[in-house]
Amino acid sequence: MTDSRLVSLGKMLLRRIPLDDRQVDSQFARCLTTLDLICLGVGTTLGAGVYVLCGEVAKEKAGPAIVLCFLIAAVSSILAGLCYAEFGARVPKVGSAYVYCYVTVGEIWAFIVGWVLILSYIIATASVARAWSLTFDNLVGQAISQWLKSSIPINLPGTMLSEYPDLLAVLLIVLLTALLSFGVSESALMGKIFTGINVTVLGFVFISGMVKGDLANWSLTVDNFINATNITDPELIKKEFGFGGFVPFGLHGILSGAATCFYAFVGFDCIAATADEALNPMQSIPIGIVASLLCCFVAYFGVSMALTLLMPYYLLDTQTPLPNAFDFVNQAHGRYVVAVGSLCALSTSLLGCMFPLPRVIHAMASDGLIFRFLSQMCEKTKTPLQATVISGVVAAPMALLFDLDVLVDLMSIGTLLAYTLVAHCVLVLRYQPSHLDDSLKTTTLAEAGSDQKIYCKGKELTKEPVEDFRMMLLLRPRMDIPTHLSGSIVYGTTAVLLVLVFMLCSVLGICWDELVMGQYSVVANCAILTLLSFLCLVIIWQQPQTREVYSFKVPLVPVLPLISIFFNVGLMMQLSLTSWIQLAAWIAVGFVIYFTYGIRNSSATFGRVGTSTPLNAPDELQRQDEPSRGTQKT
């Protein structure tokens, strides 16, 4: 009895949504065009990073080679974006990575991704609200922060609390919550206006750099550094100046800068959350994701080029690089132009951070994995009103009280985990049989004269032999179209591959110095893990892919998704142990909700996925003999 209950529990945790079992009709108002999605993606991704990050990376890590850092980071981000784009074409439903995992790898993984995304969006919303407040405070000479520090000080050193409660950040979140509650079209219009201003300001920065910049700043020598700073200590010269030229800090500086620049492209996934509000999601989402990433790369590339031409990289200010660069070339008016662009960029970034949050909550609540009352829609505005209000209620206190700099790594882990699992899901879903494959299989099996039968919703479709697993099928499948056995082989192999990549990236992250020194045990472990990963890749490569045609597909599968997984996991392993502990604590809280509420109220149990109608869920653990209707169809 115990074994059968464990098997039943395992099936429940891994039950999946058939691709065609979500509600076809959207409860949201379909009003977003492709241009709206591009503006949303650009506005979210092209935030404060373009005004701050360029100076930090150029001065401390890469120098003028920052343009190469953004190129590498853009390639890595586009790989993740392509995976999102394929799912946007195949599963155009609200919920983003949560839904993609639900249809592919199972309910428990979908819950983990959705729960972690909620935390990431909350932290991002609160962080950007505080950044907007600090930027505005700087424009008024720190008048707001000084008054709050003297009137309502907190002063609890050693904690995550800030020095003072940020009332302006709270006001921003309240206003944004109200705006999102009124309707998506109003929010999109506001986002387009601010994005247009931001892009115009960045265009001004680029033109100024081309006109006022000096190409000699890309070929500086040690003498230039000594004459400008009067520093003659060789160690300080090496630390602050490097070797000069275009690549002053070498290849290591470029790679380190690229890892930092990667986070500048985080945010495009908000486009996937608009699936139920786009007029033509199967086309608009892939176009929106790819176009917004390309636009952001051009902007980051142009601004970093202009910045390093306007002044020597070693003189850059890491906090306000662009205003100081304009002061350096005697163009003080540029400071005010940049200030306007920075506030607009933060405004659109704040909108993009909070916009997907209530939609992920709505999707999870509609499926019964979290409390169903959060899935209720406002009939007048066609927005998830309660989920939106809850989002504001949770984000506002964090912006009010916490020093969110210490939680940025936690937000990054959540985002990278979502990117990793979406790329993993592309690998899995590409090799699963589809309706077109079933029809092709009908002809193939009829010619084979098999006497076995296959059923779909109780109706006989064709004859199919019952396949027994044999080792030779790993490299030589019986058919050139996906079957349930070949799909299961890919499902299991990709799971093993994901574990191997995590282990390999862990070894590289922890023992990199030993690897460079050629320590035998580390080299041997890396070689074994790499060989096993390559073997898994070959097994996946040999399995037949679906022949279903979609508006967008990731090219070079399985190679590109695997590269994306390796990049994402590698970046995750660079984050602090504290962030991993905080992530584990958040997931533990989520498991309490899931195992006490979600697992028994999941709509997948009753074949009613995507509906917000409450269900009186019986105890499935006592119905072990009944097949689950939430598993993938045969």
pLDDT digits (tens, 9 = 90+) for 158-183: 677 788 888 999 999 999 998 888 87
φ and ψ at residue 137, rounded to 5 degrees = -65, -35
The contacts of residue 181 (CB under 8 Å, 6+ apart) are 378, 381, 383, 385, 388, 389
Strand partners, 246: none
d(CA 284, CA 88) in angstroms, rounded, equals: 9
pLDDT at 633: 36
Tokens coding 632 = 């993938």
Higher-confidence residue: 236 or 619?
Answer: 236
Nearest to 103, CA basis, from 467, 367, 492: 367
**pLDDT at 463 exceeding the cut of 70:** no
Q: Calculate what percentage of the chain has a pLDDT beyond 90.
A: 21
Q: Which residue has the tokens 């209707």?
A: 629
**316 touches 324 (CB < 8 A):** yes
**pLDDT at 20 exceeding the cut of 70:** no
pLDDT digits (tens, 9 = 90+) for 79-89: 888 888 888 88
pLDDT at 590: 93
Q: Flag the least confident range among 442-451, 497-506, 524-533.
A: 442-451
User: Count of CB atoms within 10 A of residue 540's CB?
Assistant: 24
**pLDDT at 534 exceeding the cut of 90:** yes
Q: Which residues of 516-532 are buried (b: 16+ CB within 10 A; e: fewer)?
A: eeeeeebeebbeebeeb
pLDDT digits (tens, 9 = 90+) for 288-306: 998 999 999 999 999 999 9
Q: Is 377 helix (H, G, I), strand (E, B) or coil?
A: coil
Helix (H) or strand (E) holding 461: strand 459-462
Give me the helices (H) in 263-311, please: 281-310
The contacts of residue 194 (CB under 8 Å, 6+ apart) are 43, 344, 345, 347, 348, 351
Task: Find out whether the peptide bond into 358 is cis, omega within 30 degrees of 0.
Answer: no
Strand partners, 349: none
> What mean pLDDT is predicted for residues 59-82?
88
Tokens coding 80 = 């993740």
Q: Which residues of 576-596 are buried (b: 16+ CB within 10 A; e: fewer)?
A: eeebeebbeebeeebbebbee
> What mean pLDDT is predicted for residues 212-219?
90
Q: Calculate what percentage of the chain has a pLDDT beyond 70.
A: 87
Q: Is 454 helix (H, G, I), strand (E, B) or coil?
A: strand
Output the CATH code of domain 29-429.
Answer: 1.20.1740.10
Instruction: Parse the chain into domains and list their residue ranges.
Output: 29-429
> What mean pLDDT is predicted for residues 13-40?
74
**pLDDT at 25 exceeding the cut of 90:** no
**pLDDT at 529 exceeding the cut of 90:** yes
Nearest to 431, CA basis, from 498, 367, 487: 487
CA distances (Å), 559 to each of 103, 491, 624, in order?
A: 22, 16, 40
**pLDDT at 373 exceeding the cut of 80:** yes
d(CA 601, CA 371) in angstroms, rounded, equals: 9
φ and ψ at residue 26, rounded to 5 degrees = -85, 140
pLDDT at 324: 86
CA distances (Å), 33 to each of 36, 193, 573, in order?
A: 5, 15, 38
**pLDDT at 416 exceeding the cut of 90:** no
**316 touches 58 (CB < 8 A):** yes
For every residue of 328-348, DSSP letters joined together read: HTT-THHHHHHHHHHHHHHHH
Tokens coding 289 = 């994701």
pLDDT-based confidence at residue 439 (cuts at 50, 70, 90): low
